[in-house]
């Protein structure tokens, strides 16, 4: 009898451990976030599209902004140069393999921690972000792929990290994978954004 | 039954769970480590690659795969961004409940005072490597010197910029490199950034540079150079 109770207790303990661990594993984020209150209904971020020298990339960036704005999250990205806090620029670099990168700033300080598991390291502190797209590489891509790369970078600019958990890569489909392998923000991405910017209208749902 | 029979395992499990939870909350990898730089700024690129999804894809995508020794680091330089050419898109036509929410939102949440940064360019560093062996590809011979460009380095103000997961090559190190060549200036670069880099140890084993991010490369951690060579040469 005692042994049975002990076994049951031990099993319960293991279950408790698993539950706590599973509950704490979410996704990766960059530390911090844009100014946000759960009582707000929309996170309106203005961007300036400086990529006009390449119509293909400029248009893809604008479409990527619309794609994020149409997700079931609070995010609303709008083109408005005078009010911009996100800038999109171009480079032409034939000696690299990357398609784009993002920097986020809190004042003059760059956000350097890109690997938080669960939101961490401050909040409401982002003041600007820059996205750089590599014209050399993306000139060879289809419009849809260029749009996906821009979506991925916008995802970073919102505070999302690459799609993985503490124990490795997630199996969820995500625009935040690298290499990029989907062409739209996925439910996993929406869920992670809703965790970062909670609002009762867009509760986190199934992550996959 | 003594209460300790029940409480003991429960307490132990709780301690373990809380410990794991705390570790996960504070989990950061060396990818995000800031280092001890105090006199200058250190910042990071976190790049997006469209390449590669498999070892086969990496191998087939490379122009040449070589065992190399880094012999020289050249001064860093900046590849400038294009001058800004601003385009403005109309407000997005939103669908679903958000359209209603935005229409009814009294005042959008105020952003921080607009003070957008515009990046000037990308810091790069060129390295000279000596080819020790050619594992795949043609046109390169052992003993040949190649220039390999890499993202990251030190800008004109002494600030360091590094690529996440892709540390700068170090003089004296041996690495197996999956290389592509720029048709613009003839310089080589690693395919997929860190994906195309496997450090070679003194014992002759290999270690991918960023197995955490690119899981398919992790399968080769600790393999011998001969194992990796066989895997490369088995791909048609």
Burial (CB count <10 Å: 0-12, 13-18, 19+), residue B93: exposed
Q: What total number of domains does chain B contain?
A: 2
B181 and B129 share one domain? yes
Flag whether B125 is in a domain.
yes
**Residue B73 lies inside a defined structural domain of this protein:** yes
Residue B2 is predicted with a pLDDT of 55
pLDDT in the model for residue B29: 31
Residue B103 has pLDDT above 90, yes or no: no
Tokens of A175: 């625009």
Mean pLDDT of B38-51: 74
Nearest neighbour of A169 by CB, restricted to B52, B79, B215 = B215
pLDDT for B20: 41
What pLDDT digit, counting tens, does each position of A161-195 carry? 988 766 666 678 899 987 788 899 999 999 999 99
Q: What is the pLDDT of residue A118?
A: 80
pLDDT on residue B230: 97
Is B48 found in the same domain as B28? no
The partner residue sitting opposite B117, judged by closest CB among A94, A130, A135, is A130
Percent above pLDDT 70 for chain B: 75
Do B26 and B47 belong together in one domain?
A: no
B36 or A37, which is more confident?
A: A37
- The pLDDT score that the predictor gives to residue A142 is 94
Residues of B in contact with A83 (CB under 8 A): 111, 114
**Among the listed ranges A11-25, B10-24, B206-220, which one has the minimum average pLDDT value?**
A11-25
Is B151 part of a structural domain of the chain? yes
In a domain? residue A132: yes
- Going by C-alpha positions, the residue among A197, A196, A28, A31 that lies closest to residue A111 is A31
Residue B86 covered by a domain: no
Give this complex's ipTM.
0.80
Residue A62: partners with Cβ closer than 8 Å, 6 or more residues away: A49, A79, B87, B89
- Asked if B183 has any chain A CB less than 8 Å from its own CB, the reply is yes
| Best residue in A179, A198, A199 for a mutation probing chain B (most B CBs within 10 Å) | A179
Stated pTM of the model: 0.82
B1 touches chain A (CB under 8 A): yes
Kindly report, residue by residue over A60-96, the tens digit of the pLDDT: 999 999 999 999 999 999 998 988 999 999 999 999 9
Where is pLDDT greater, at B156 or B126?
B126
Domain shared by B24 and B68, yes or no = no
Q: Do B111 and A83 touch (CB under 8 A)?
A: yes
What is the total count of domains within chain A? 1
Contacting residues of B for A72, CB less than 8 Å apart: 96-98
- Give the CATH number of the domain where residue A74 resides: 3.40.390.10
Q: How much is the pLDDT for A171?
A: 74
Check residue A25 and give its pLDDT.
Answer: 43
State the residue range of the domain holding B215.
43-81+117-233
- Average pLDDT over every residue of A115-139: 89
Is the residue at A7 inside a domain? Answer: no
Does the pLDDT of residue B17 top 70, yes or no? no
Q: For position A24, what pLDDT does the model report?
A: 39
In chain A, what residues touch B17 (CB-CB under 8 Å)? Answer: 16-17, 20-21
User: Is residue A104 included in any domain, yes or no?
Assistant: yes
Predicted confidence band of residue B215 (pLDDT cuts 50, 70, 90): confident
B213: in domain: yes
Residue B224 in this model has a pLDDT that exceeds 90: yes
- CATH at B159: 2.40.50.120
Contacts of A150 in chain B (CB under 8 A): none
Evaluate whether residue B89 is within a structural domain. Answer: no
**Which chain B residues have a beta carbon less than 8 Å from that of A117?**
24-25, 27
């Amino acid at each position: 009898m005692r042994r049975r109770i002990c076994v049951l207790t031990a099993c319960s303990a293991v279950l408790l451990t698993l539950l706590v661990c599973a509950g704490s594993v979410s996704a990766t984020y960059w530390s911090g976030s844009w100014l946000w209150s759960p009582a707000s209904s929309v996170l309106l971020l203005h961007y300036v599209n400086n990529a006009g020298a390449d119509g293909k990339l400029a248009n893809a960036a604008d479409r990527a902004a619309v794609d994020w704005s149409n997700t079931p999250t609070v995010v609303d990205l709008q083109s408005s140069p005078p009010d911009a806090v996100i800038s999109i620029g171009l480079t032409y670099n034939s000696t690299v393999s990357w398609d784009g990168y993002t920097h986020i700033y809190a004042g003059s300080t760059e956000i350097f921690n890109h690997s938080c598991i669960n939101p961490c390291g401050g909040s409401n502190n982002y003041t600007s972000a820059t996205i750089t797209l590599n014209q050399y590489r993306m000139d060879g891509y289809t419009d849809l792929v260029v749009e996906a790369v821009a979506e991925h970078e916008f995802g970073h600019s919102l505070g999302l990290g690459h799609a993985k958990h503490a124990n490795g890569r997630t199996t969820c489909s995500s625009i935040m994978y690298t290499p990029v392998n989907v062409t739209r923000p996925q439910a996993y991405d929406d869920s992670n954004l809703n965790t970062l910017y909670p609002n009762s209208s867009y509760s986190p749902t199934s992550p996959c | 039954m003594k209460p300790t029979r029940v409480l003991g395992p429960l307490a132990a499990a709780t301690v373990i769970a809380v410990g794991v939870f705390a570790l996960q909350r504070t989990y950061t990898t060396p990818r995000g480590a800031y280092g001890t730089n105090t006199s200058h700024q250190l910042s990071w690129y976190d790049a997006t690659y469209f390449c590669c999804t498999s070892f086969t894809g990496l191998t087939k995508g490379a122009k040449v795969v070589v065992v190399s020794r880094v012999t020289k680091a050249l001064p860093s330089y900046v590849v400038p961004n294009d001058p800004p050419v601003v385009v403005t898109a109309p407000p997005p036509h939103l669908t679903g409940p958000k359209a209603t929410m935005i229409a009814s939102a009294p005042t959008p949440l105020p952003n921080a005072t607009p003070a957008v940064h515009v990046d000037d360019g990308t810091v790069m560093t060129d390295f000279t490597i000596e080819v020790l062996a050619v594992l795949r590809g043609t046109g390169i011979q052992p003993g040949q010197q190649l220039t390999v460009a890499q993202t990251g380095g030190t800008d004109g103000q002494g600030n360091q910029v590094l690529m996440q997961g892709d540390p700068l090559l170090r003089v004296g190190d041996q690495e197996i490199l999956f290389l592509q060549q720029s048709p613009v200036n003839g310089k080589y670069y690693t395919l997929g950034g860190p994906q195309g880099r496997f450090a070679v140890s003194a014992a002759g084993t290999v270690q991918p540079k960023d197995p955490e991010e690119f899981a398919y490369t992790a399968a080769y951690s600790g393999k011998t150079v001969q194992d990796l060579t066989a895997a490369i040469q088995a791909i048609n």
